[in-house]
Chain A
Amino acid sequence: MSIAAEARPVPTADWVTIEDLYRNPFPIYQKMRAEAPVHWVPAVNRYMVTSFEACHIIEQDQEIYSANETGSLMKRAMGHSMLRKDDPEHDVERKSYGGVLRPRAIKETWNAIFQENSDKYLAQLKAAGPGADFIWEYAAPYAAENLRRIIGFENATQEDLQRWSQTMIDGTGNYADDPEVWAKAEKSSAEVDAAIDEMLPRLRQHPNATLLSGLADMKIPLESIRANLKMTIGGGLNEPRDVLGVAVWALLSNPDQLAQVLAQPARFTDVFDEAIRWVAPIGMYPRQVTRDTVLEGMALPEGARLGVVLGAANRDPKQFEDPETFNINREKKPHLAFGGGIHYCAGAWVAKASVAAIALPQVFDQLPNLRLDPEHPAVDAGWVFRGMVKFPVLWDQK
């Protein structure tokens, strides 16, 4: 008897649309998870995996669930980065990042720069005055400038990084094959290549603590350096921006929890953890099945393209009690927002330092009575990537 014969057939979720997912994927995930851990979703042209258990199994097994997807849009938009490779190829490139994103370097070099950037963009937000947009006046430039400094793009601005990140991410998600989206992604990709080519010889002459400087002397093909840095631009900007936005929005929407945190600022770490569990900034990523297999009782054929839906796994009632609720006091349990296994987010410590330790406490300290604007409601959106797209805030001016 074949293994597939023992398994349940995978149901088709033809009722799922991309528009609904973009607006609010969570009721859709609730319905899917209750029915089966895996669905075939025609609108997305993938199997979507929505249970915590199944997503966790995939992350721990790169032999059956390969990151090296055929026809990957990310490869087209950014080149073939380590995020779409398996070991041993992945491991060499992962190690090429060295200690730049790890806690020791953060303490020695990056924290001071994060603080400088937070001061700068908080001043910009204050200058814009109450009613200003928290994302576009603060969170986005803050995350972009932090990333620019860490990578070492002395020849670019934080605005360049924001544009590069968004246009290449749009390419990665260009399922509609819109030529205009590809044109913008290609233009950004070429600009990043040029910026890297200019910086590498400069940094060989004058090495520093940046990622580019570390890579300058590595025996890694230029093609890989370029692809990995594009992945890092995509993954290192929108995600800290989005977790920062969602965390502030969640606190402003839950005044009792906000009061608790303000009385005990050490709890901003819990705010961060709960915000990325509640709304994982990267909601879905792809994997491809290398041979016929059974995943949590569901038959999957060789070659099947999967969407590992972290946004759904993080709200699985089998893993989290009352999962739809933002609750910083919930029982501490592992979540999958940073991914898991060999592709565990390389920027996790940077995110924790810049968002939980620096930005969140400073924002609430310096913007008295920070609150939502009842006249102009905040808007959260997205499913592959999710965050605040519009977030006007009010505060009391001193």
Chain B
Amino acid sequence: MAKISFHHGDGSTDVLEVEPGTSVMRAAVTNGVSGIVGECGGQAMCATCHVYVRQEYLDALPPVGDDEDEMLDCTVDERTDRSRLGCQVKVGDGLEAIEVDVPESQV
């Protein structure tokens, strides 16, 4: 199992243990983590699963793809160097844990 921590603006944190291969978006949506919408079901189409990945995990991630890059320009909260789409970040396979900050708004 892999561990995903969602840090919210109010100081609370949701910690999930999920199967390897699960995306950050899917984990959040199936477990009712607030602040992650994932409208398009994971095809990098809607920009509503925006997360800020904590610095120490960034290097372990695959590079931002073309579609993801395009969508990150359409997020409601500002894009930063830590911005990723939760649907494009999967845990497992060298990424046994990840921590993300959940933006204030997705829509």
Residues of A within 8 A of B (CB): 59-60, 94, 99, 102-104, 273, 332-334, 338, 340-342, 344, 346, 348-349
Contacts and interface: CB of A to CB of B under 8 A. Distances in A.
Contact of A332 (B40, B74, B107): B107
Q: Chain B binding site: helix, strand, loop or mixed by DSSP?
A: loop
A21 B70 CA distance: 40
A341 B40 contact: yes
Given A60-B41, A334-B37, A334-B106, A344 B73 contact: no
B61 interface: no
Given A60-B29, A340-B40, A342-B43, A104 B70 contact: yes
Contacts of B45: 102, 344, 346, 348
B107 A340 contact: no
A346 to B, nearest CB: 8
A273 B106 CA distance: 13
* Residue of B37, B40, B73, B107 contacting most chain A CB atoms (<10 Å): B40
Given A60-B29, A104-B70, A334-B48, A344 B107 contact: no
Given A334-B39, A344-B46, 7 more contacts: A59-B41, A103-B74, A273-B107, A334-B106, A340-B40, A342-B41, A349-B74
A-B pairs, top 9 by smallest CB distance, nearest first, are A341-B41, A344-B40, A342-B41, A334-B37, A104-B70, A340-B39, A332-B107, A334-B107, A103-B70
A344 B70 contact: no
Nearest to B30: A60
Contact of A340 (B41, B70, B71, B105): B41
A102 B107 contact: no
B67 interface: yes
B53 to A, nearest CB: 22
Contact of B41 (A332, A333, A344): A344
Contacts of A346: 45
A63 B3 CA distance: 26
* Residue of B29, B46, B105 contacting most chain A CB atoms (<10 Å): B46
Interface in B61-107: 67, 70-71, 73-74, 105-107
A332 B43 contact: no
A103 B74 CA distance: 8
A59 B41 CA distance: 9
A344 to B, nearest CB: 4
B43 A102 contact: no
B67 A333 contact: no
Contacts of B70: 99, 102-104
A377 B12 CA distance: 52
Contacts of B73: 103
Nearest to B71: A103
B41 A338 contact: no
Nearest to B44: A102
14 contacts: A60-B41, A102-B45, A103-B73, A334-B37, A334-B48, A334-B106, A338-B39, A338-B46, A340-B40, A341-B41, A342-B41, A342-B43, A344-B45, A348-B45
